[in-house]
């Protein structure tokens, strides 16, 4: 593997995924997705301030087969008839793009955008940025993080 590709995996890009009903959420490193993402996908997310929603969104479908927590979240969202929301760490994502996809960074910098961003689209209220308690969700295996609307369970 070329050195630049191997290095790109070592720069973590935190990704938080949560259900719109705020019952479940998971955190993971999205560097693998960034490495394989198409420029238009990255540009779309950068324009949305590194956040999005939708159970079929590219990052969610990518991690569904690689991460058990994401698979559980997608199944939960379908069964609960809710939507999944996600947000990349904006600073880490922007730094990664600048270092490993400089052409995309230059293209983004050169554009004049007159439209607003869709930072937190309807139904995807941002989660409070507080320390979350990692506990298993009832009925779901694994260390999913309970959303703030759920009761906290002892470790």
Torsions phi, psi of 29, nearest 5? -95, 125
What is the tens place of the pLDDT at every residue in 69-95? 999 999 999 999 999 999 999 999 999
Which pLDDT value is given to residue 11? 86
Structural contact between residues 84 and 57, judged by C-beta atoms closer than 8 angstroms:
yes
The predicted model scores a pTM of: 0.70
Identify which of 14, 23, 27, 143 has the alpha carbon closest to the alpha carbon of residue 90.
Answer: 14
What is the tens place of the pLDDT at every residue in 19-64? 999 999 999 999 999 999 999 999 999 999 999 999 889 999 999 9
Task: Take residue 86 and report the two structure tokens written for it.
Answer: 């996600």
Task: Take residue 93 and report the two structure tokens written for it.
Answer: 């994502």
Tell me: pLDDT of 114 over 80: no
Torsions phi, psi of 140, nearest 5? -125, 125
Which pLDDT value is given to residue 103? 87
- Regarding beta strands 24-29 and 51-53, do their DSSP bridges make them parallel or antiparallel, or are they unpaired? unpaired
């Amino acid at each position: 593997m070329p050195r630049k590709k191997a290095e790109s995996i070592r720069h973590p890009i935190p990704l938080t995924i949560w259900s719109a009903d705020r019952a479940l959420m998971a955190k993971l490193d999205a560097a693998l997705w960034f490495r394989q993402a198409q420029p238009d996908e990255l540009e779309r997310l950068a324009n949305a301030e590194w956040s999005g929603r939708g159970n079929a969104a590219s990052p969610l479908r990518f991690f569904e087969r690689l991460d058990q927590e994401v698979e559980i979240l997608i199944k939960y969202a379908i069964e609960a008839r809710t939507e999944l929301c996600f947000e990349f760490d904006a600073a880490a994502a922007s730094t990664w793009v600048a270092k490993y996809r400089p052409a995309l960074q230059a293209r983004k910098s050169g554009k004049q955008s007159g439209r607003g961003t869709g930072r937190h689209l309807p139904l995807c209220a941002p989660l409070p940025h507080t320390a979350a308690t990692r506990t298993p969700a009832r009925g779901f295996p694994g260390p999913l993080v309970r959303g703030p609307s759920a009761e906290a369970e002892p470790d």
